[in-house]
């Protein structure tokens, strides 16, 4: 057999085997229980949402799907576990943006490689924040905040959940955008942060979108803006950051993504991507996500997720370097 004919037959054989291999991988998967590990505590909004789609996946896949909570260590425990897991699609990770975009720049030593250890499956919700002040604050709008900061340099303060959190970096983004400086007051928990803002002990802060709902309803907090690209249904009369500052494209959100170990077969990744699209694209899922204070989105393609994560790494990693906190944790 001449070389050209042999090569042609090899190509034809490979083309025939590839679909068969993909079909076999999809049909044979999963062989046993699937575990979804996440860095959030039980009872959080993200945890509740994972349990919703875990139940749906269990029905679709025909095998048990269990949820394992692994909070702590700056949201890195789940990522460490998944980076070392067998790439068979039986151990998956739901994680949030900071695991992949902030921690790799903020921390001196990283126990996983955000670029090489994981394969994206589904990017299904964004988690917006609400910029709030106390109800008695003279600051009535987001532009008032910038004006007050310029008129009183170094005197206003803002609360967040600590250095490098999205609440902290969202305010750093605003300060960088408008050339103002506010003093940072870190908190251990959102209730402490919101209570101090409501009482006037702290001037302003970004908080998870649903967290201040009760205090806003009771007239103790005033919302100035939401950080999502579009208005948030929980606060339909509150402008977006882009609207409040007349700055198109200004957005500061966390997001939730499902990942698998990097070497997981592409066929398994594709099947999970398809199944997740069906679940998270349903009206019921979107309504439940919205009720939890999250913003459901239609997942990009697998390549689209990877591109989005890269753009977010560049954006937030660049800000961390610019404000001088890279490698400080």
The string of pLDDT tens digits covering residues 182-229 is: 999 999 999 999 999 999 999 999 999 989 999 999 999 999 999 999
Last residue of a domain, one of 223, 244, 265: 244
Predicted TM-score of the model (pTM): 0.89
What's the CA gap between 250 and 169, in Å, rounded? 13
* Whether residue 182 is found in the same domain as residue 201: yes
Question: In angstroms, rounded to a whole number, what is the distance separating the alpha carbons of residues 14 and 49?
Answer: 41
Q: Are 95 and 111 within one domain?
A: yes
Question: Do 67 and 203 sit in the same domain of this protein?
Answer: no
For residues 157, 159, 162 and 167, what is the CA-based torsion angle, rounded to 10 degrees? -110
Of 215, 244, 273, the position where a domain reaches its end is 244
Of 186, 221, 244, which residue sits at a domain end?
244
Residues 6+ apart with CB under 8 A from 284: none
| Sequence-ordered list of residues with C-beta below 8 angstroms from that of 15, at least 6 positions apart, any chain | none
- Each residue's pLDDT tens digit, 245-283: 999 999 999 999 999 999 999 999 999 999 999 999 999
Based on the fold, state whether residues 139 and 233 are members of the same structural domain.
Answer: yes
Instruction: State both tokens at 270.
Output: 């594709």
Shared domain check, 52 and 141: no
| Same domain, yes or no: 71 and 118 | yes
Could you tell me if residue 308 is inside a domain?
A: yes
Q: Residues 6 or more apart from 37 whose CB is under 8 A from it?
A: 67, 68, 69, 70, 78, 81, 82, 91, 92, 93, 94
Indicate the number of domains in the chain.
2
Angle formed by the axes of helices 266-280 and 3-28, nearest 10°: 40
Residue numbers of the chain with a pLDDT score lower than 70: 1-27
pLDDT at 10: 43
Domain contains 205: yes
Asked if the structure places residue 202 within a domain, the reply is: yes
Give the domain range for residue 49: 31-127+253-322
Q: State the pLDDT at residue 182.
A: 97
**Structural domain includes residue 149:** yes
Nearest to 130 by CA among 216, 223, 61: 223
CATH code where residue 190 lies: 3.40.190.10
| pLDDT for the residue 27 | 65
Report which DSSP code applies to 146: H
Per the DSSP assignment, residues forming a β-bridge with 323 are none
Predicted confidence at residue 187, as pLDDT, reads 97
**Domain membership flag for residue 21:** no
Query: Which burial class, exposed, middle or buried, applies to 289 when counting CB atoms under 10 A from its CB (0-12, 13-18, 19+)?
Result: buried
E strand map for 70-144: 91-96, 118-127, 129-134
The helix/strand/coil state of 26 is: helix
Decide: 298 and 289 in contact? Cβ < 8 Å. no
SS3 state of residue 75 = helix
pLDDT at 14: 46
Q: Is residue 230 part of a domain?
A: yes
Same domain for 142 and 226, yes or no, is: yes
């Amino acid at each position: 057999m001449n070389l050209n004919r042999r090569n042609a037959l090899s190509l034809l054989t490979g083309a025939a085997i590839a679909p068969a291999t993909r079909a076999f991988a999809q049909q044979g998967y999963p062989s046993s229980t699937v575990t979804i590990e996440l860095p959030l505590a039980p009872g959080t909004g993200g945890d509740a949402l994972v349990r919703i789609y875990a139940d749906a996946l269990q029905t679709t896949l025909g095998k048990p799907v269990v949820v394992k909570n692994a909070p702590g260590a700056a949201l890195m425990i789940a990522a460490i576990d998944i980076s070392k897991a067998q790439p068979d699609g039986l151990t998956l990770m739901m994680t949030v943006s900071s695991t992949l975009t902030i921690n790799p720049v903020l921390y001196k030593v990283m126990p996983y490689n955000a670029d090489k250890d994981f394969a994206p499956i589904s990017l299904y919700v964004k988690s917006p924040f609400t910029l709030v002040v106390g109800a008695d604050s003279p600051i009535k709008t987001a532009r008032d905040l910038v004006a007050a900061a310029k008129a009183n340099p170094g005197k206003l303060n803002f609360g967040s959940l600590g250095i490098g959190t999205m609440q902290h970096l969202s305010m750093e983004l605003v300060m960088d955008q408008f050339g103002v400086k506010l003093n940072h007051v870190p908190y251990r928990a959102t209730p402490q942060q919101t209570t101090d803002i409501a009482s006037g002990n702290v001037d302003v802060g970004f908080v998870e979108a649903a967290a201040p709902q009760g205090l806003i309803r009771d007239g103790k907090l005033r919302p100035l803006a939401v950080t999502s690209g579009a208005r948030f249904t929980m606060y339909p009369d509150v402008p977006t950051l882009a609207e409040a500052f007349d700055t198109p494209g200004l957005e500061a959100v966390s997001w939730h993504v499902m990942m698998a170990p990097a070497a997981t077969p592409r066929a398994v990744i594709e099947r999970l991507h398809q199944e997740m699209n069906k679940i998270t694209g349903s009206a019921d899922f979107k309504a439940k996500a919205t009720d939890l204070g999250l913003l459901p989105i239609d997942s990009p393609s697998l390549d689209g997720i990877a591109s989005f994560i890269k753009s977010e790494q560049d954006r937030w990693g660049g800000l961390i370097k610019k404000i001088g906190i890279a490698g400080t944790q």
